[in-house]
Amino acid sequence: MTTPAMTTPLVRSAPSPTGYLHIGNARSALFNWLYARRHGGRFLLRFDDTDLTRSTPEFAAAIAEDLAWLGIRPDAVISQSQRLALYDKAAARLRASGRLYPCYETADELDRRRKRQLARGLPPVYDRAALNLTDEDRARLEAEGRRPHWRFKLDARVVAWNDLVRGKAHVDCASLSDQVLIREDGSYLYHLPSVVDDAETGITHIIRGEDHVTNTAVHIQIFEALGAALPVFAHHNLLTTVSGEGLSKRLGHLSLRGLRESGIEALAVAALATLTGSSDAVRPVSSLDELAGLVDLAHVSRAPAKFDEHELETLSARTLHQLPLAAVTERLAALGVPATEPFWLAMRGNLARLDEAASWWRVVSGPIDPVVVDAPLAATAASLLPPEPFDATTWKSWTQVVSAATGLKGRALFMPLRQALTGLDHGPELAALLPLIGREKVLKRLAGEAA
């Protein structure tokens, strides 16, 4: 196994392709991606797909697609299902050193044993009875049709590390059961493949949720037993709903796929997912590089981070309002909207979702059915409309002249003109819209003609 190169950070996200990513999964992936961006490092996407009964290529493709929507594009992609020979080799090494031993208890037997321990006031820790089995005992059990699962023998000591989020952290492994690394059918659970891959690929920093703190103590012992260099660890707090419930893949409304389909801005998702639960205020950003400059693991709180999806809607709109044209050009084109600077600057502050730009493009380009509620005002306004070219000052100078001619002011003047020019009673500033609509369409709409 290779030793991690500490000069350039190499981080990873390791989702299991057993469902769609939700916002909690995205939080970990983003922390890793942003850390790599901030420190000039690299990002590895690893599919933890050793559970062949639940993992599917379709979910793997969906995860990659959702991460790409967020702006996360890995430097490399690997799948654990293609690396089983590495795990076999590591398991053989652990067996040879006496750290991996076979156990023959069934799930029911283990459950009854735990209940007896609890009834006696003892912690429900595996008692290592399997270590007392003789070769004859194991042969007899296997002759009965039992197949062993394999546990990693933990050293009964305190494992400590300096955590980039939590500071000095430690776990007393004497209070833990020896972890099962290999099932009865020979398939691997999470722990051994994770450590082997982190070591073999040279991962320098493991950034993951605080629900892995105990796993980290176990993994450190596995790293050491395999003679591998230890990475740096960081355990961030977990996202919950506003009511304090944990997030899961079953919450489809908070899946990245669901958020994307509802028109939420990816940058808003990234900002709220990573800045929530930190000392840095949640704010809109114009790029992931900007966000990378804001997200600091040392500022992440130890308290749970409550994710408010209603706040996400507001942040999404605020994100749109400050995005430059270059950031939305391709998406506007996909909506059939010509990407011009005047149009985008006129519209963006009025959008809650980007797809609303298509409706405003129809208002500008026509034809629309104008709403003429004050025909005398419309006729006077048409007669006083100045020649082109129009610019940002035309609306003010034109309406001042119309106001002087009609005696109308404020809403009584502006609302009928808005309705005639746009067919609506709301929208962007007409000073910006007027040059986009153009003199010919303005005159037709003031006359009540579709244009």
Asked whether the beta carbons of 255 and 309 are under 8 A apart, the reply is no
Phi, psi of 43 (to 5 degrees): -130, 130
At CA 224, angle to CA 219 and CA 225, rounded to 5? 95
306 falls in which pLDDT band (50, 70, 90)?
Answer: confident
pTM of the full structure: 0.89
* Pure H helices in 228-374: 256-261, 266-275, 288-294, 309-321, 329-334, 341-347, 356-365
Give the sign of the dihedral formed by CA 381, CA 384, CA 388, CA 389.
negative
Give the residue among 70, 72, 73 at the shortest CA–CA distance from 267. 70
2 falls in which pLDDT band (50, 70, 90)?
Answer: very low
Q: Which domains does the chain have, with CATH numbers?
A: 10-85+190-240 (3.40.50.620), 95-182 (3.90.800.10), 252-325 (1.10.1160.10), 326-365 (no CATH), 375-446 (1.10.10.350)
Q: What confidence score (pLDDT) does residue 293 get?
A: 95
CA distance 145 to 94: 25
Query: Is the peptide bond prior to 57 cis by the omega test (within 30 degrees of 0)?
Result: no
Give pLDDT tens digits for 111-158.
Answer: 999 999 999 988 899 999 999 999 999 999 999 999 999 999 999 999
Q: What confidence score (pLDDT) does residue 247 get?
A: 66
Q: What confidence score (pLDDT) does residue 305 get?
A: 87
Give pLDDT tens digits for 207-252.
Answer: 999 999 999 999 999 999 999 999 999 999 998 878 777 765 455 5
Q: How far apart, in Å, do the first and last CA atoms of the chain sit? A: 71
Give the residue carrying structure tokens 């997030």.
247
